[in-house]
Amino acid sequence: MRIRLIGVGGFGANFVVFLNKLNGGDYPFLTGNPECLLINTDAAALDRDKEITGLLIGHAIVGGNGCGMNAELGRQAAEMDSAKIEKVVQGADVVFVCAAFGGGTGGGATPEIARLAHLAGAKVIVLGVTPFAFEEPLLPQAKKAIRNLSVNTAYVEFQNAKLQEAMGGENTLPDAIYKMNSWIAEIIDGIVCQLKAGHPMAIRRSCPVLGECRL
């Protein structure tokens, strides 16, 4: 089974790098070698994480400088480079896409990447984080990104705002982020373990209308 893990935008890259640093010790699925890939509109960020294969999108519109939290630019970037994205999702049985829904690249490009992966024949699972409470202006575009996910895309939402609240005031932001990354990794690990064991499990999204999701 070919499993591909795609980190989109800044958060997506942070998460994939976090997983790669674990060396497979904590999460057995890592020993199964998922193929990791980063997709970003930010050339410098891809360069920083160059130990993982990167795909730069949208260079013609943002010049490799990221989307400045503008999801419309992220959407256009993915659309204009859909041929490149099609190539990197070919041949995968399962594609996990990790992104921040509130980010310009993450929120804008993720629905298109997920759609192309589905068209290429993969089961697609998006793992997305929503904004922290102090990032309220990003909420509308995060909600829009979720609405833009096709009905063929399963998704799991991780809410930064709820996470911070749940962890209480004594934890620092890096603690909260570490914890969130660990939860996302556990979910991917669990799904892959089930699939590899051949358990009869379907990955679906049953309802195209998405309301509030809770932790």
The entry of Mg ion, ligand GTP, none that residue 148 binds, CB within 5 to 8 Å by partner kind: none
Residue window 84-123: x/- pattern of binding to ligand GTP, with contact defined by CB under 6 A: ----------------x-xxxxx-----------------
Decide: is 10 part of the binding site for Mg ion (CB under 5 A).
Answer: yes
Residue window 59-78: x/- pattern of binding to ligand GTP, with contact defined by CB under 6 A: -------xxxx---------
Residue choice 7, 12, 34, 66 for contact with Mg ion (CB under 5 A)? 66
Region 136-155 residues binding ligand GTP, contact defined as CB under 6 A: 138
Amino acid at 129: V
Shortest Cβ 102–ligand GTP spacing (Å): 4
